[in-house]
Chain A
Amino acid sequence: GNSVTQMEGPVTLSEEAFLTINCTYTATGYPSLFWYVQYPGEGLQLLLKATKADDKGSNKGFEATYRKETTSFHLEKGSVQVSDSAVYFCALNPLGYGKLTFGQGTILTVHP
């Protein structure tokens, strides 16, 4: 079946530190991969996505590269800000109509 595994949190960083949140997946076929973010008190929103091997998704300084050989889609940011504090979810869509499979989420807290 399809599954997503994220690194366990919570992750606590100081402002301007480098961020990596690991995500690996198991899927049949060639899924699209996503990172969604949930800020405190808000709903899930798309952060970035990639549709095929070696694609790099990027947004708001965050990046993730679709690595088919390692079945990974790790999220990175070079310099985090306090406003990046949120819960981050890795997800995949293996089917054409969008039945997303999510990881368990990683809580990120950034201190000034």
Chain B
Amino acid sequence: GAGVSQSPRYKVAKRGQDVALRCDPISGHVSLFWYQQALGQGPEFLTYFQNEAQLDKSGLPSDRFFAERPEGSVSTLKIQRTQQEDSAVYLCASSLGRGRLEETQYFGPGTRLLVL
């Protein structure tokens, strides 16, 4: 079946521009996560949705970052007034959402954002 998809795969933005990154999770997956991966580092948690509810946004680095999942499926991560330090790969992951510690997360290919 189809995995997690993300678009665009690459995005170049000028500093100060707004960007929107899209994630299509696996159908039927309740949980959705966004992570930020800087070059040469491991992914860092940004935010978590259970269906349409954003239950944890503790990892969002500033109020310029905003995420939504209005119908409990597709999610969008928006970054306003982009800065050079926002350059990173943004990963989306989804899981069944049954609340088990060992539950597997399925990752998308990521969106590589470069802010000039």
Q: What is the interface of chain A, defined by CB distance below 8 A to chain B? A: 4, 30-32, 36, 42-46, 49, 51, 89, 91, 93-105
Selecting from B60-68, B71-79, B96-104, the interface stretch reads: B96-104
A98 near B110 (CB under 8 angstroms)? no
B40 lies within 8 A of chain A by Cβ: yes
4 nearest CB pairs, A to B = A102-B42, A32-B101, A44-B107, A51-B102
Residue in chain B with minimal CB distance to A6: B42
Nearest CB of chain A from residue B79's CB, rounded to whole Å: 21
Write out the residue numbers on chain B whose beta carbons fall within 8 Å of the beta carbon of A99: 33, 45, 48, 56
A42 near B109 (CB under 8 angstroms)? yes
Write out the residue numbers on chain B whose beta carbons fall within 8 Å of the beta carbon of A105: 40-42
Nearest CB of chain A from residue B95's CB, rounded to whole Å: 6
> For the complex, would chain A's binding face be called helix, strand, loop or mixed by DSSP majority?
loop
CA distance A31 to B35 in the complex (A): 19
A97 near B43 (CB under 8 angstroms)? no
Write out the residue numbers on chain B whose beta carbons fall within 8 Å of the beta carbon of A32: 101-102
A97 near B102 (CB under 8 angstroms)? no
- Listed by A's residue number, 9 A-B pairs whose Cβ atoms lie within 8 Å are A32-B102, A36-B107, A44-B91, A46-B105, A46-B106, A97-B48, A97-B55, A99-B33, A101-B45
Write out the residue numbers on chain B whose beta carbons fall within 8 Å of the beta carbon of A51: 101-102
**Given that A43-B91, A44-B91 are known contacts, is A98 also in contact with B105, CB under 8 Å in the complex?**
yes
Contact check: which of A31, A89, A104 meets B101 at CB < 8 Å? A31
A104 near B40 (CB under 8 angstroms)? yes
Nearest CB of chain B from residue A107's CB, rounded to whole Å: 9
CA distance A99 to B59 in the complex (A): 10
Write out the residue numbers on chain A whose beta carbons fall within 8 Å of the beta carbon of B35: 100
A49 near B110 (CB under 8 angstroms)? no
B101 near A100 (CB under 8 angstroms)? no
Write out the residue numbers on chain A whose beta carbons fall within 8 Å of the beta carbon of B50: 97
Write out the residue numbers on chain B whose beta carbons fall within 8 Å of the beta carbon of A103: 42
Residue in chain B with minimal CB distance to A55: B102
CA distance A104 to B50 in the complex (A): 27
CA distance A43 to B5 in the complex (A): 10
